[in-house]
Amino acid sequence: MKKIWIINGPNLNFLGIREKGIYGNDTYESVCEYIKKQFKDEAVEIKIFQSNYEGKIIDILQSAYFEKIDGIVINPGAFTHYSYAIFDGIKSVQIPTVEVHLSDIHKREEFRKISVTSPACVAQIYGKGKGGYVKAIKLLLEK
């Protein structure tokens, strides 16, 4: 059975509350339920984390190494645009990682078009809403 961890960064716990025109009406909990439901009949164990703290995200990445996780889906939130520490964390664990963004970051503010974390990842998926997580997991299961 493959093990996939999903790591969500800052403010994603406020889905359904924040900027509904960009992120939609789904709550964080409903997005997590949706993801798990899509894979309930498959041989995959999915564990989902969320933190508003950069250091905690790095701790989770490092734990994935020791737990021998097969793949990581990460939505670093705003850390995407400036966290070289998360970039280093992704690179250091040597686990295939897919970066996901609910919105199309390339159609938003200029600073959002830059991802310092994606070069450490095997792929970047954006603008697919919660379906982006499903696409990312499927990609990792193929590896």
Q: Name the residues annotated as catalytic.
A: 23, 101
Do residues 71 and 4 make contact, with C-beta atoms less than 8 angstroms apart?
yes
Distance CA 120, CA 96 (A): 9
Give residue 139's region: left, alpha or beta (phi > 0; psi -120 to 50): alpha
Distance CA 140, CA 143 (A): 5
Distance CA 111, CA 131 (A): 24
Q: How many CB atoms lie within 10 A of CB 92?
A: 13
With tokens 């969500």, the residue in question is 8
φ, ψ (nearest 5 deg) of residue 90: -65, -45
